[in-house]
Structure 1
Amino acid sequence: MNRRPGLSTRLKLTISYAGFLLLAGALMLAVVWVFVLRWLPDDDRRSLQRTFGAVIITGPNRSDLLRGFAPAAATALAFLLVFGLLGGWILAGRMLAPLTRIAYAARMAANGSLSHRIRMKGPKDEFRELADVFDTMLEQLESHVTEQQRFAANASHELRTPLAISKTLLDAARNDPTRDQGELIERLRTVNTRAIDLTEALLLLSRADRRGFTREAVDLSLIAEEAAETLLPLAEKRQITLDITGETTQTVGSTALILRMVTNLVQNAIVHNLPAGGTVTVHTEPQHDASVLRVENTGRPLPPELIPTLTEPFQRGTERIRTDEHAGVGLGLAIVHSLVRAHDGTLDLTPRPSGGLLVTIRLPGTPHASSPSGAH
């Protein structure tokens, strides 16, 4: 159902200003009437004589004064009405000017321009605070949209690569029927596995960003042992020593997501390691109100300027061959970072002086996280 357009806020404020000013004028005139005119006699005498010694004071009666007072009062009220409307319109315009700028910025944002900022000057009043909050929101929204656009572009590129490889292999097989079918199937399987892994990683990132998961008590030490058991064959194949240490460390979150987080960290530590004879250490411990997980590995020295980029999607810390079955999809630490944020934790990456990386994750602990297991 369509509604008629109502009065503008500026017009409403103008009418309110004029109304209050007119009411104030009427009250003042009423005061004059009550406290001045009521003391005058109301009769037909043309003069009032009161004798104070030898002095005689003459004055008009109430009717005479009322006949002269009423037109002047009406004129004053009319002036107050006009003055109130004009002054109220100007004042309302000046008071609402910041809202006009904020509305313009909101309209620009609605049309897709997130780079516009209000940058309001002046005293720190309510309008200035609203404008600053709106600018902060636009800045965060622009940053988020830019990040999502870059992520979508990178994801499209990464997904297009295995699809293009599959198409090339199929075209080659069609043009050369005598080609070894076993080799073709194996290469297609590898490429298809990579595409599936990338798709699952993207879905996991989306799930973590929405935080749409059930929280429950989780023991990080058990999660670390399960992840290490799963990746032990990979560590043995690469001649990497995998060591799990620590104690019972309780936190709250999704068991499946935290397991994926730790698995990604351990796998990343195994893959980005020395060619042989390297080590990976996973340690868990409760600290005050936090549950700490550390994953430390040997490897090549990492330049400090590379560290901040490791948690960005599709960034790889070291060069590696893309045909490796565990080359990954460039989302390992990005997924870890997203999952840590979803669990209200922090992620710290520190390069080791001798090479490799120390990853420290701090998650919120439970009230009894520092108590020994089974204590009562």
Structure 2
Amino acid sequence: MIIENVAFPAGQHCETTTLGALLHHRGLDLSEPMLFGLGEGLGFVYWDARNLDFPFLGGRTKPATITRTVADRLGLALHVQETASPRKAWQTVAAALTAGRPVGLQLDSYHLDYFTTKVHFGGHFAALYGYDDTHAHLIDTAQQGGTVTTTLASLERARNERGPMTARNLSYSIGSLTGRPELGDAIRTAIRNNAHAFLNPPIANLGHRGVAKAARQVTRWLDRSTDPSRDLPLAAALMERGGTGGALFRTMYRDFLAECATIVDDDDLHLGHQMYAEIAPLWTSVSDHVTAAGETGDPEHLARASATLADLADRERRAMQILAGIHHR
């Protein structure tokens, strides 16, 4: 059982790659930055807890929220199902495939055969477009191989895992489209909503307040780690190459704003894009300093990362204040 015409070449981020593949099958091709931005995906979290070996810096909203928000913005029929039963979960996706609908899945990447780095991450996504007696056929990011397979048993474990960021065998498919959606109003609404969420975080480790908190905490990271030469470069790599598209999703959001500016003519939008074009390289410099601190043990690199993060907290706050003012048509 294989469904044809399910593809999203060169995808960088798992959830937008999965959504792009499902939409391509329905005849709607949107760029990955456009999907990320319409999904109001940009965020920030500084996450440190007793059960974590090392703090985590995240640059996007919670798993599955991008997909749900894009569907809402574009008026798509999104069919979402969760169940505690692995048997029922498989019956659901098999029925969708038989009906000719590829399926998005939320997974713990630890169990997937094609992942070479075995780390539990329950917020991974892939598009299922077929299966045979032993293997599932998936679309994943280019970094993970693009068109890949994993055993049915491993897929079941990946879907049924419990822990941080996991879901209960979550699957979803997209109904038939009734023509190409009008993007102008969707873009304006998505940008304003994303800006308001970033500017008004409910707790201090999210949004621009979270970036400011990271600026205060990062100077302690050499002492926070039991193995700085491992932990600091890994944290930096997750910011730059962990499916973020670079610069903790800021490169992707910059490209989203650039594409929007070709569709919506708004002075605040043009200025916001210019500001994110300046913001994105600064995030890469933070990851470079964090890597260097781990490799050398020199706290001066963390002092520089801290100063840049403090600057970024202010720059992103001002950029989002401008983007929040984008006009209704």
Q: Which has the larger radius of gyration?
A: 1
Identify the structure with bigger relative contact order (alpha carbons < 8 Å, sequence gap 6+). Answer: 2
TM-score (norm 2): 0.23
TM-score, normalised on structure 1? Answer: 0.21
